[in-house]
A and B are shown apart, each in its own frame.
Chain A
Amino acid sequence: MNEFLEHGLNQNRRKFLSKMSLGIGGLALGSLVAPGLFEGKTEEELFANVLPHFAPKAKRVIYLFQNGAPSQLDLFDYKPKLQSMHGEDLPASIRMGQRLTGMTANQAKFPLAGSKFNFSQHGQHGAWFSETIPHIASIADDLCIVKTMYTEAINHDPALTFFQTGAQVGNRPSMGSWISYGLGSENKNLPAFCVLLSKGKGNGQGVYSKLWNNGFLDSIHQGVQFTSGEEPVKYLTDPSFIQRDDKRAMLDEIASLNEASYKEIGDPEIVAKIQQYELSYRMQMAVPEITSLQNEPESIVKMYGPDCLVPGTYAANCLLARKLSENGVRFVQLYHQGWDAHDNLPAQLEGQCKDVDQASAALVKDLKQRGLLDETLVIWGGEFGRTNYCQGALAKDNYGRDHHPRCFTIWMAGGGVKPGVHGETDEFGYNINTLPVHVHDFHATVMHLMGVQHEDFTFKHLGRRYRLTDVAGNVINEIIS
């Protein structure tokens, strides 16, 4: 960069930084970006809040969101009692008048539905897994299984929004946006927060861009949607008639005209613009290289399954997630739709597991074999759980389950979590017996693993200091290694 451009940058670094995308972590401040920097806070506030607050255990997150809410009772939370009481009514003493969704609120009876799948124990902690997820069971010793998650929302939209933004309604920043804002990117050619979407054949609930939205943070912290198809990032691909050297010549032309205008007008924003064009050029080279799945060795394809070569599948996204993460993307957010099995649950669940079981486990193994699992936190789970009673007619081998926010299972691996099983639900799988984990607690814990004290990581917006954990959240120390 020539001298006058450098001068222009230095003139107003703060203002410049506030508009700068991706490269925050790559800039002079390294990954130490202070909240409030963009707000013109006082110096003392600026330095009191420098991130990370303490040494992080996880540097990056890969969040495998199972959208629609997988049934914990058919995957992890083994309840023989339900099998023995199959068809009997849920005792009122267990239900305790809890609210139900409009789909089952008018049911005359709530017949308990035992899982039709066989369960077995795996790993040194004796964790239970159903036969539908043998690959995940095979990495039992790497998993921290939280059986006692609970949430406040009972419908998909608010529950998903709650998990992703810490609030059921409102245009709040997503977890990934908070992380991008606080920690920046490790790779100056890639965004800090990437989003990957896929769909199963089960009953689907849509996703929506609000989930990876920046809320009141600058829109540079918005999740950038990636695909493994022809155009991995929107508008990334040049039109066919513009070749690489062509493009270079155009960018040089643009830069030199912009430079002239900077000399005339003196606005540092123009310098930032030149930089962004350069960055876009580098992204055009870096992204296809990372998103191309063609050059993966046979062993990797075998590990993730053949689907991993089919763009847009969950398996391909898991592989892509590993590559993005490996290349320094802070937060990779996957969504896989299709878990909302109000009826025909056994068949739907088997289909969904076919999509995700092998690839989810492969991702953990792959990170491990590359020595990356220690610093990468992998999270697997949905927005709530499913009921222990049947929605609609109960058959011997067939049932559906409604939404159940009062207890459900998620698992995490790597990134400083302690393998094992956390918490216990009652014998009906309806209420939590020990060690409940609220969504806010989960957020506080993930932040903690990233080296962030969640209560101190705030952003002042319209008169209030907001944080991911709203006004609650406790770090669950028991699951931290």
Chain B
Amino acid sequence: MKKNWINHKLTILIALMVIGYIAIGAIRYFASSTKNAEKELVSYNRDIRPILSDKCFTCHGPDVKKVKADLRLDQATYAYAPLKKSKGKFAIVPGHPELSELVTRIESTDPKIMMPLPESHLTPLSADEIALFKKWIKQGAKYEKHWAFVTPVKAKLPALDNTQWPSNEIDHFVLAAMEAKDFSPNEEANKPALIKRAFVDITGLPPTHAEYQQWNNNTQANWYQQMVKALLKKPAYGEKMGVLWLDLARYADSYGFQDDNIRTQWPWRDWVINAFNKNLPYDQFLTQQIAGDLLPNATKETILATAFFRNHKYTEEGGVIEEEYRVSYNIDKTKTYGKAVLGVTIECAQCHDHKYDPFSAKDYYQLYGFFNISKEKGYEGDVSISTPAKTPKLFLTAADRKTVLQYINTKDTNTLEVAVMGDSNKPRPTYILNRGSYDAPSNVQVQPTALESIMPFDTTKYPRNRLGLAGWTVNKKNPLTARVFVNFIWQEIFGKGIVKTSGDYGLQGELPTHPELLDWLAVDFMEHNWDIKYLMEKIVTSSTYKQSSEIKPKQLEKDPDNVYYSRSPRIRYKAETIRDFILASSGLLNYTIGGPSVKPYQPKGVWESTTSGRGVLASYKQDHNSDLYRRGLYTFIKLTAPPPSMMIFDASNRDQCEAKRSSTNTPLQALNMLNDPTILEASRVMAQKISMGAESLDEKIEKAFESILVRPATRFEKNKLVKYCENQLAVYQQKPALTKETLAIGEFAQPNRKYNEAEAAALMKTILIMYNLEEAITKS
């Protein structure tokens, strides 16, 4: 009896320990978990390396010039070797934490001995972290290659308790992680919510009334799949996807430095939209952009793709030193390629060996070497002799645009010039630049070579030019290319990547929350011929995606960041989507695809107050008529004064490659939503149109609500809005002058038939309220 009692107590104790350990593990956001704390292996990649990298590598890492005490902790051979500065001691003795100097140092509080040293301004390791180190050393201090630099493989789908929920493989991985933490998924979202969500994510536009009816009334079991397939065929899909790529490619319509004149890069933007719409496989999408000019069967279309590398800023400031800028453009290209394509931040190695990642200055300049052999010049004169593109250029004639390049949309019949890539016949030698400085070349010459710590660059297979780089990039063994792209798509849809630092897969980047899922998606994507629409469809037809977005108190408390995806995220629309939804729902949207960027309404003085006065962009010449109502991605981006309504909603300023936009919530946004003429005009036009109908006021309000919120109004909402509108109507019926004034907003033509103006004015303000609801600009 007594023995049993002790056993019972022991069981409880062990259970408590296990629970405690799981709780600690939970903050590590790691999906794979085991149940036995004692036996669990400490993983170098998962547990140790993030701490080493953050706290130790600055002085004991791969930057050989900065290594202190001759000790490196980034590789086993160095870490196990006898310490050069402390005779007879070892930093790490596998199996023996008590003999390992590293443990002594991280446990010490003596400012002369402790690590990290106080002057490093890094905080000491926590007790948990120290315990992890001891355990890891006890278990043999096994080093592993960085996870992201190992080619991904498909793991077996994890077993589940709930086998009913998954729609596809994604759900297996997501649910397994949830089950390990005792979470359960939300129920499926209702039909209107699914319609809205899929329209936002695939096309960036709301459904028309007819589309909404069509899908809402479709009672077939696979209505959702049908809808997704239909949406992926819409040309709006390419525009929606384009924005993601334009941020990474830092696309803009001006040169960006001080005098900031106009440039013609938009034909490349149209290439991107077209590529997404015709579903160009991602490997070709990259190959053409990296080396479309070097392909054996290069066409003007593939050469146009290489404008990707020419979107960087270009100086037209008088008196600059050409070489300084030529070098800086190549640095920009190297950085953009690294971040957008491989998800690595290699730019540190521009000045010194990377402090955290295995990229030396030599690796950096070898990669830079691919771009250094181009014909590009650093400077072609100041703004007084500005040209729409810089050498090397591609000329697109009217004839080209009638044949192979029909998607280049312009009424202009002149030949267009676009800056593209083109290598010089006499390749310029590349030297490592001391401190990254253009005027301090070392005598170490390097050859164009891809990042070999990621994957060897086999020169029997790959030429030492961008074509070789492209081949290396899209080789299925490359551990990063597919992972990085599927993660960008995941981030697009769920608001955060499986790797949250979507532009940094290096040692300082965050670990994936669902590593097996990321790898499965990456491999599956490559197995399906890098098919982007297939990937999109896979994600949006998962049960994970289709959950409702309701946030239960337990979820908010236990998982505020929704790491486990037990609900659909609520995400504020991107700046472009806000605009597009407003224009489309009001009926103002001009659906034209492509062409030169346009200048919609903008507050006075934005360009004028910053300009030097030189160049054609010194003052803002607003467009008119249908050009006022183009989608957000066609709004003209002047780099030195980007469009304020976009910037207020966190659009990229396109100065540099941007992997993730922030999502803020500010009073300036409230001011914009209530006072931007675009939104006021959209409210006016929708109100006038609706007021011409024969329905009752209630029905009119329901109709407007459905167009804007993509769902029927609740009784509460309807009652409130109708009451507000009736009050307004009473006011406007008394004040015809105020009615006229209210309806005068915007350049869109006033209706030429009679309608109830007072009602329209009252409806306009009611609609403005609807546009200002949180839900109206939120994907939920």
Q: Say yes or no: is A96 at the interface (Cβ < 8 Å to chain B).
A: no
Could you give, for residues 459-477 of chain A, a 1 whenever the CB lies within 8 Å of some chain B CB and a 0 otherwise?
A: 0101110000000000000
Q: Is there an interface contact between A234 and B668, defined as CB atoms closer than 8 Å? A: yes
Task: Tell me, in angstroms, the Cα distance from A312 to B570 when the chains sit together.
Answer: 41
Give which listed residue, B610, B665, B724, contacts A253 with CB less than 8 A.
B724
Q: Say yes or no: is B656 at the interface (Cβ < 8 Å to chain A).
A: yes
Give which listed residue, B509, B609, B667, B774, contacts A283 with CB less than 8 A.
B667
Min distance, Cβ A382 to any Cβ of chain B, angstroms: 14
Q: Say yes or no: is A83 at the interface (Cβ < 8 Å to chain B).
A: no
Known: A258-B773, A261-B774, A463-B509. A19 touches B665 (CB 8 A): yes
Q: Tell me which residues across on chain A come within 8 A of B724, comparing CB atoms.
A: 249, 253
Beta-carbon contacts under 8 Å, A237-285 to B: 237-242, 247, 249-250, 253-254, 256-258, 260-261, 264-270, 272-274, 276-277, 279-280, 283-284
Q: Say yes or no: is B321 at the interface (Cβ < 8 Å to chain A).
A: yes
Could you give, for residues 1-33 of chain A, a 1 whenever the CB lies within 8 Å of some chain B CB and a 0 otherwise?
A: 000000000011001000111100000000000
Give which listed residue, A169, A209, A254, A463, contacts B501 with CB less than 8 A.
A463
Q: Say yes or no: is A206 at the interface (Cβ < 8 Å to chain B).
A: yes
Q: Tell me which residues across on chain B come within 8 A of A205, comparing CB atoms.
A: 258, 317, 612
Q: Is there an interface contact between A402 and B121, defined as CB atoms closer than 8 Å? A: no
Q: Is there an interface contact between A250 and B768, defined as CB atoms closer than 8 Å? A: yes
Known: A261-B774, A462-B501. A276 touches B665 (CB 8 A): yes
Min distance, Cβ B444 to any Cβ of chain A, angstroms: 23
Known: A11-B557, A276-B670. A213 touches B653 (CB 8 A): yes
Task: Tell me, in angstroms, the Cα distance from A471 to B553 when the chains sit together.
Answer: 44
Q: Tell me which residues across on chain A come within 8 A of B611, comparing CB atoms.
A: 206
Q: Say yes or no: is A42 at the interface (Cβ < 8 Å to chain B).
A: yes
Q: Is there an interface contact between B774 and A210, defined as CB atoms closer than 8 Å? A: no
Q: Is there an interface contact between B769 and A257, defined as CB atoms closer than 8 Å? A: yes
Task: Tell me, in angstroms, the Cα distance from A45 to B126 when the chains sit together.
Answer: 10
Task: Tell me, in angstroms, the Cα distance from A210 to B551 when the chains sit together.
Answer: 37
Q: Is there an interface contact between B121 and A456, defined as CB atoms closer than 8 Å? A: yes
Q: Is there an interface contact between A240 and B644, defined as CB atoms closer than 8 Å? A: no
Q: Tell me which residues across on chain A come within 8 A of B572, comparing CB atoms.
A: 269
Q: Tell me which residues across on chain A come within 8 A of B507, comparing CB atoms.
A: 463
Q: Tell me which residues across on chain A come within 8 A of B665, comparing CB atoms.
A: 19-21, 269, 272-273, 276
Could you give, for residues 303-339 of chain A, a 1 whenever the CB lies within 8 Å of some chain B CB and a 0 otherwise?
A: 0000000001000000000000000000000000100
Min distance, Cβ A5 to any Cβ of chain B, angstroms: 13
Q: Is there an interface contact between A219 and B662, defined as CB atoms closer than 8 Å? A: yes
Q: Is there an interface contact between A260 and B765, defined as CB atoms closer than 8 Å? A: no
**Stretch binding the partner chain, chosen from B273-281, B473-481, B671-679:** B671-679
Q: Tell me which residues across on chain B come within 8 A of A45, comparing CB atoms.
A: 123
B723 nearest in chain A by CB position: A253
Q: Is there an interface contact between A219 and B671, defined as CB atoms closer than 8 Å? A: no
Q: Tell me which residues across on chain A come within 8 A of B605, comparing CB atoms.
A: 227, 229
Task: Tell me, in angstroms, the Cα distance from A101 to B775 when the chains sit together.
Answer: 54
Give which listed residue, A219, A337, A403, contacts B612 with CB less than 8 A.
A337
Which of A210, A250, A257 has the most CB atoms of chain B within a 10 A radius of its CB?
A257
Q: Is there an interface contact between B774 and A256, defined as CB atoms closer than 8 Å? A: no
**Stretch binding the partner chain, chosen from B34-42, B426-434, B625-633, B738-746:** B738-746
Q: Tell me which residues across on chain B come within 8 A of A297, comparing CB atoms.
A: none
Q: Say yes or no: is B257 at the interface (Cβ < 8 Å to chain A).
A: yes
Q: Say yes or no: is B647 at the interface (Cβ < 8 Å to chain A).
A: yes
Which of B322, B645, B674, B775 has the most CB atoms of chain A within a 10 A radius of its CB?
B674
B679 nearest in chain A by CB position: A235
B510 nearest in chain A by CB position: A463
Task: Tell me, in angstroms, the Cα distance from A209 to B605 when the chains sit together.
Answer: 13
Q: Is there an interface contact between A206 and B501, defined as CB atoms closer than 8 Å? A: no
Min distance, Cβ B109 to any Cβ of chain A, angstroms: 14
Could you give, for residues 605-628 of chain B, a 1 whenever the CB lies within 8 Å of some chain A CB and a 0 otherwise?
A: 110011111000000000000000
Known: A231-B603, A234-B603, A462-B504. A241 touches B741 (CB 8 A): yes
Q: Say yes or no: is A218 at the interface (Cβ < 8 Å to chain B).
A: yes
Q: Say yes or no: is A373 at the interface (Cβ < 8 Å to chain B).
A: no
Q: Is there an interface contact between A157 and B257, defined as CB atoms closer than 8 Å? A: yes
Q: Is there an interface contact between A273 and B321, defined as CB atoms closer than 8 Å? A: no
Give which listed residue, B258, B439, B506, B672, contacts A206 with CB less than 8 A.
B258
**How many residues of B are in contact with the other chain, CB < 8 A?**
98
Q: Is there an interface contact between A269 and B774, defined as CB atoms closer than 8 Å? A: yes
Q: Say yes or no: is B561 at the interface (Cβ < 8 Å to chain A).
A: yes
Task: Tell me, in angstroms, the Cα distance from A239 to B356 when the chains sit together.
Answer: 54
Q: Say yes or no: is A478 at the interface (Cβ < 8 Å to chain B).
A: no
Min distance, Cβ A458 to any Cβ of chain B, angstroms: 8
B322 nearest in chain A by CB position: A102
Give which listed residue, B552, B613, B721, contacts A266 with CB less than 8 A.
B552
Q: Tell me which residues across on chain A come within 8 A of B655, comparing CB atoms.
A: 171, 210, 213
Q: Tell me which residues across on chain B come within 8 A of A224, comparing CB atoms.
A: 668
Q: Say yes or no: is A55 at the interface (Cβ < 8 Å to chain B).
A: no
Q: Say yes or no: is A81 at the interface (Cβ < 8 Å to chain B).
A: no
Task: Tell me, in angstroms, the Cα distance from A42 to B24 when the chains sit together.
Answer: 13
Q: Say yes or no: is A139 at the interface (Cβ < 8 Å to chain B).
A: no
B128 nearest in chain A by CB position: A42
**Stretch binding the partner chain, chosen from B8-16, B585-593, B634-642:** B634-642
Q: Tell me which residues across on chain B come within 8 A of A213, comparing CB atoms.
A: 653, 655
Q: Tell me which residues across on chain B come within 8 A of A270, comparing CB atoms.
A: 774
Task: Tell me, in angstroms, the Cα distance from A156 to B126 when the chains sit together.
Answer: 46
Known: A102-B322, A463-B508. A208 touches B258 (CB 8 A): yes
Task: Tell me, in angstroms, the Cα distance from A242 to B348 when the chains sit together.
Answer: 53
Q: Say yes or no: is A300 at the interface (Cβ < 8 Å to chain B).
A: no
B507 nearest in chain A by CB position: A463
Q: Is there an interface contact between A170 and B675, defined as CB atoms closer than 8 Å? A: no
B550 nearest in chain A by CB position: A265
Q: Say yes or no: is B139 at the interface (Cβ < 8 Å to chain A).
A: no
Task: Tell me, in angstroms, the Cα distance from A446 to B744 when the chains sit together.
Answer: 50
Task: Tell me, in angstroms, the Cα distance from A15 to B716 when the chains sit together.
Answer: 29
Q: Is there an interface contact between A266 and B653, defined as CB atoms closer than 8 Å? A: no
Q: Tell me which residues across on chain A come within 8 A of B774, comparing CB atoms.
A: 258, 261, 269-270, 273-274
Task: Tell me, in angstroms, the Cα distance from A278 to B741 when the chains sit together.
Answer: 26
Q: Is there an interface contact between B356 and A463, defined as CB atoms closer than 8 Å? A: yes
Q: Tell me which residues across on chain B come within 8 A of A242, comparing CB atoms.
A: 765
Q: Say yes or no: is B345 at the interface (Cβ < 8 Å to chain A).
A: yes
Q: Tell me which residues across on chain A come within 8 A of B566, comparing CB atoms.
A: none
Give which listed residue, A44, A265, A274, A312, contacts B126 with CB less than 8 A.
A44
Which of B609, B680, B772 has the most CB atoms of chain A within a 10 A radius of its CB?
B609
Give which listed residue, A15, A21, A42, A204, contacts B666 with CB less than 8 A.
A21
Q: Say yes or no: is A85 at the interface (Cβ < 8 Å to chain B).
A: no
Q: Tell me which residues across on chain A come within 8 A of B257, comparing CB atoms.
A: 157
Which 10 pairs, one residue from A and one from B, show the smallest C-beta to C-beta distance?
A: A463-B508, A103-B319, A208-B640, A21-B666, A280-B670, A280-B667, A206-B612, A266-B551, A101-B319, A279-B667
| Residues of chain B having any CB pair with chain A under 8 Å | 121, 123, 126, 257-260, 315, 317-322, 328, 331-332, 345, 348, 355-357, 379, 439, 501, 503-504, 506-509, 549-553, 556-557, 560-561, 570, 572, 603-606, 609-613, 639-642, 644-645, 647-648, 650, 653, 655-656, 658, 662-672, 674-676, 680, 714, 716-717, 720-721, 724, 738, 741-742, 745, 765, 768-769, 772-775, 778, 780
What would 10 more interface pairs be, CB under 8 Å, given A240-B741, A258-B773? A207-B610, A208-B640, A239-B675, A253-B720, A260-B717, A265-B549, A268-B556, A280-B670, A463-B356, A463-B504
| Residues of chain A having any CB pair with chain B under 8 Å | 11-12, 15, 19-22, 40, 42, 44-45, 48, 99, 101-105, 154-157, 169-171, 197, 199, 204-210, 213, 218-220, 222, 224-225, 227, 229, 231, 233-242, 247, 249-250, 253-254, 256-258, 260-261, 264-270, 272-274, 276-277, 279-280, 283-284, 312, 337, 402-403, 455-456, 458, 460, 462-464
Q: Would you mind naming 27 contact pairs between A and B with Cβ atoms under 8 Å apart?
A: A22-B666, A42-B123, A169-B328, A171-B655, A197-B610, A205-B612, A206-B612, A206-B613, A208-B639, A219-B664, A234-B644, A235-B672, A235-B674, A235-B675, A253-B721, A254-B772, A257-B721, A265-B550, A266-B550, A267-B570, A268-B556, A269-B665, A269-B778, A276-B667, A276-B669, A277-B772, A462-B501
